[in-house]
A = this chain, B = another copy of it.
């Protein structure tokens, strides 16, 4: 549409000054008189000038842009991380661009790549499934801040998954459940904590763990848990690696005429909006994702402004929110 963008040269010509003076004035940098500056700003406005961020960043070889990678848009946790981060970033007046992975797929390279290609100054990544080694390699090209996952050597802001999973499992044990199944996420670097903690809890209670794996979709969880519910020694309680999976288990229960909380107790992870619905009332682990996003934003800004700062490694304590979906097993 635009035939040609208005450039600084155009503004300079119209204002009767040199280009670099325009640059200085527009940036608010020192080196221009108040009156001249106002005049330049006015003509720039009049001409409809807009800075070309491409050229700007190329020339300054420093990007004051924060990139955020999210695994997918279907999981509220990532929306929370975004909202928290956004708060910090906006307060600093920095632009924020996002890259998104493919839901269900482990393919996060393309999403990360576009962000890197866009030459963001720092990249905050939530829900990356790539191996640690690859991430460390990536970090040589661009400062990386990991969210909800700890990578040794990289800035990491995450929730203590071991603690969360233990709280969930122990809650079920305390209620008297013995046959507790776990719907786990696909195996991958940095995401084994929940499953391991569950297994450890079961072991120390002298019980046999029962694990099925489901990817990040609701239907996958429903299908995965089906055989368990239909088999002998069906579990009286299920602990899911996230709420989406828990909703899938609820689907499976409903289709079998099993009552949530009565026939089978259920615990999710994320404390999503759905979990809070009165009709759902799902016991879930809240990992305070928004607060994590906020912290990640602070770390990112710090990394941008003070590249040499020491690496941040911060884990936070999740909370178990007990609701109607968990009750003692019926006898």
Contacts and interface: CB of A to CB of B under 8 A. Distances in A.
Interface stretch (A78-86, A159-167, A228-236): A78-86
Interface in A121-175: 139-143
A98 B99 contact: yes
A254 interface: yes
Contacts of A143: 1
**Considering residues A55, A95, A113, A279, which has the most beta carbons from chain B within 10 angstroms of its beta carbon?**
A279
Q: Give the secondary structure class of A's interface.
A: mixed
A260 B247 CA distance: 20
A51 interface: yes
A2 interface: yes
Given A97-B97, A119-B52, A278 B251 contact: yes
Given A98-B97, A117-B51, A277-B280, A83 B90 contact: no
**Considering residues A51, A141, A277, which has the most beta carbons from chain B within 10 angstroms of its beta carbon?**
A277
A143 B1 CA distance: 7
Contact of A73 (B5, B79, B103): B79
Contact of A273 (B141, B142, B247, B279): B247
Interface string A67-109: 0000011101011001100100010000111111011000000
Interface string A285-314: 000000000000000000000010000000
A317 interface: no
A284 B27 CA distance: 50
Contacts of A5: 141
A53 interface: yes
Contact of A95 (B53, B117, B273, B277): B117
B307 A279 contact: no
Given A251-B278, A260-B279, 15 more contacts: A1-B139, A1-B141, A2-B141, A51-B117, A53-B117, A65-B118, A72-B79, A73-B82, A74-B76, A90-B102, A97-B115, A97-B118, A98-B99, A118-B118, A273-B274
26 contacts: A1-B143, A50-B141, A52-B119, A53-B117, A54-B118, A54-B119, A72-B79, A73-B73, A73-B78, A73-B82, A74-B273, A82-B100, A90-B102, A95-B117, A95-B118, A96-B100, A96-B114, A97-B97, A98-B98, A250-B277, A250-B278, A255-B278, A274-B274, A274-B277, A277-B280, A280-B280
